[in-house]
Amino acid sequence: MSHEVPELLDLMRVRSTACIGEHLTYPWSVRMDEDTGTACFLLVLEGRSWLNVEGVTKDIQLFEGDIVLLPHGKAHTHSDKPEHGFNDEGLPHRDAHILSGHFQFSDTTPHAIISRLPDILVERSSDRHRAHKLDLLVQLINVELGKHSNPLPSALNHLTEVLCLHAMQNWMQQTITHDEALQALASPRIKEVIDCIHSEPAAAWSVESLAKVYGQSRTAFAAHFKFATGHSPINYVRQCRIRQACKMLEDTFLSVGEVAYNSGYADANAFNRAFRREVGASPGAYRRMPRA
């Protein structure tokens, strides 16, 4: 494994928010609409199936043990037959046992990593280069689903979280050797800066103070940070503050002024402007938005 990959994985946090195992009897079809804030996963435990992803002209045939991640929540249809591009008439139809669900990246996962993930990530059970630990995780999931009439949800959620992380690890391993920005993001010094920002987004960070953490001049640090993350240091700090503010608006009864102060803004007007620029709505309007 490339030495940068563990550093990248250490920056990533995922949480399984829904997970369901289904025995699907022919004919069957499941349609999921696009949800850009939530990633999806599919695991074929038994049988075969077809996946049609919106914007992709060719259907993807899936076999037992195949794992699919849709990191950006693309709309898709998962069914017993293809929508186009292949005629399976005359082939035997089979029922399928599918585990599917959703997961979310935590606020501390750098957007620079998420944005580089492909729309569709497929880990084939037939791929001889696939990590053995993925096969072991599939076996553990099968055991958990098979030994209980009502599988333990927390166990399935944790297993699928690890499954998704290791599937992304395989992708990173293949990608990082020719992605210089991803290599830069994995550097220990950039990681230390990101960790500092995420641990205290409300702190009075400046390019100068972050450059001290990085250990180089302001100019060199700012250039390296933007190359790695796609954002200037101050813009990155602002995004982290606004994400923290969103969570407080959703989960607490703090006033907008208190949320502003706890997010590192002494001036409520400056907070309102920054929030609207980042989110597209005022803090008050965001708080009133219906939640799924």
Dihedral sign of CA atoms 109, 113, 116, 121 in order? negative
What is residue 51's three-state secondary structure?
strand
Of 61, 25, 24, 69, the C-alpha closest to 43 is: 69
CATH class of 187-288: mainly alpha
75-100 residue pLDDT tens: 899 988 886 545 555 555 677 888 88
Q: Distances in Å between the alpha carbon of 95 and those of 23, 24, 52, 229, 233?
A: 7, 6, 18, 44, 52
Nearest CA among 139, 264, 149 for reference residue 198: 264
Confidence of residue 253 (pLDDT cuts 50, 70, 90): very high
Give the chain's mean pLDDT: 85
CATH superfamily placement of domain 4-178: Regulatory protein AraC (2.60.120.280)
Contact 43, 62 (CB under 8 A): no
DSSP 254: -
* Strand partners of residue 50: 61, 79
pLDDT score recorded for residue 218: 95
User: Where do you find CATH 1.10.10.60 in the chain?
Assistant: 187-288
Kindly indicate the confidence band of residue 143, based on its pLDDT and cuts at 50, 70 and 90: confident
pTM comes to 0.75
- Helix/strand/coil for 37: coil
What is the per-residue pLDDT for 276? Answer: 94
Structure confidence by residue, pLDDT tens digits, 30-58? 888 888 778 899 999 888 889 988 887 78
- CATH 2.60.120.280 maps onto the chain at 4-178
With pLDDT > 90 as the criterion, what percentage of the chain qualifies?
A: 35
As a whole number, mean pLDDT of residues 166-193 equals 85
Q: How many residues does the chain have?
A: 292
Least confident of 88-92, 112-116, 177-181, 223-227: 88-92
| Radius of gyration for the alpha carbons in the chain, expressed in angstroms and rounded | 22
Residue 265, SS3 per DSSP: coil
Tell me the pLDDT tens digit for each residue of 230-245. 899 999 999 999 999 9
